[in-house]
C-alpha cells in the first residue's frame, strides 16, 4: 500500500499552482455543440454539495484529519488513475498525513463544479481542481478532473467514492 501512496504523492507533486489555458481547444468540434453551459437542476442540492466540498477541502488543506475522517464514509472507495484503488479510510488518512499535510493545497477551478442528484442515494459532484505543491509554488499546474459520490443518511453527507483523474 505504501507504493500507492508514493504514486499519489508523485502525481500530486507533478501538478502545481499555476493554471494554464488549453490552447488546443477546438470550439467548432462536433462535441462542443453537444456540451451546454451547466445550470444545476436542484440549486439547493448544488449549494449543499458546494458547502460540503469547501468543508472537506478546507480540512484537507489544513490537515484536519479528524474532520476528513468524519466526512469520509467507513466504506470509502478511492480510485486514483495513477495510484489505483484504496478502500481503507485509515490508510487514506495516513497517506494524507504523510504526503499531503503542509505539502499540497487543493483549489477548486472556479465554475467547473457540476452536481447531479442520485435518487435515493445522494449526489454526484464532478469538477476540476488543481493542487499546489507548496514547496514549488511557481511550478505550472494543470487542472485535473474529479468525481465524488456523496451519500446522505440521517441528514449527514459523506463521501463514499472518489475518482481522481490527472
Q: Could you please report the per-residue DSSP string of 91-157? A: HHHHHHHHHTTTTEEEEEPTT--EEEEETTTEEEEEEEEEEEETTSTTSEE--EEEEEEEEEETTEE
pLDDT of residue 141: 83
d(CA 161, CA 73): 8
Domain spans of the chain, in order of start: 2-16+42-164
**Paired sense of beta strands 72-80 and 156-164, if any:** parallel
50 contacts: CB under 8 Å, gap ≥ 6:
113, 115
- Spatial neighbors of 33 by CB under 8 A, at least 6 apart, are none
The pLDDT score that the predictor gives to residue 46 is 98
Choice between 1 and 39, residue whose per-residue pLDDT is larger: 39
Predicted pLDDT of residue 30: 59
| Rounded Cα distance, 80 and 62, in Å | 22
CB 137 within 8 A of CB 17: yes
The mean pLDDT value of the chain amounts to 86
pLDDT digits (tens, 9 = 90+) for 26-72: 455 555 566 678 999 999 999 999 999 999 999 999 999 999 999 99
Instruction: Judge whether 164 and 129 are in contact, CB under 8 Å.
Output: no
Q: So what's the pLDDT on residue 24?
A: 38
Give CATH for domain 2-16+42-164.
3.10.450.50
End-to-end CA distance of the chain: 20
Model-wide pTM > 0.75: yes
Please state which of the ranges 10-14, 82-86, 137-141 shows the lowest mean pLDDT.
Answer: 10-14
Evaluate whether 68 touches 96 at the Cβ level (below 8 Å). yes
Span 96-117, pLDDT tens digits? 999 999 999 999 999 999 999 9
Per-residue pLDDT, 164: 96
Amino acid at each position: 500500500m505504501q507504493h500507492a501512496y508514493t504514486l499519489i504523492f508523485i502525481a500530486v507533486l507533478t501538478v502545481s499552482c499555476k493554471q494554464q489555458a488549453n490552447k488546443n481547444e477546438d470550439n467548432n468540434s462536433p462535441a462542443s455543440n453537444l456540451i451546454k453551459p451547466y445550470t444545476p437542476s436542484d440549486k439547493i442540492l448544488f449549494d449543499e454539495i458546494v458547502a460540503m466540498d469547501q468543508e472537506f477541502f478546507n480540512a484537507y488543506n489544513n490537515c484536519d484529519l479528524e474532520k476528513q475522517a468524519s466526512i469520509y464514509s467507513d466504506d470509502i472507495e478511492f480510485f486514483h488513475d495513477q495510484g489505483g484503488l484504496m478502500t481503507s479510510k485509515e490508510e487514506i488518512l495516513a497517506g494524507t498525513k504523510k504526503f499531503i499535510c503542509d505539502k499540497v493545497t487543493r483549489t477548486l477551478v472556479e465554475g467547473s463544479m457540476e452536481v447531479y442528484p442520485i435518487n435515493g442515494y445522494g449526489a454526484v459532484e464532478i469538477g476540476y481542481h488543481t493542487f499546489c505543491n507548496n514547496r514549488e509554488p511557481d511550478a505550472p499546474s494543470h487542472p485535473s478532473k474529479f468525481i465524488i459520490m456523496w451519500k446522505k443518511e440521517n441528514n449527514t453527507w459523506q463521501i463514499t467514492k472518489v475518482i481522481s483523474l490527472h
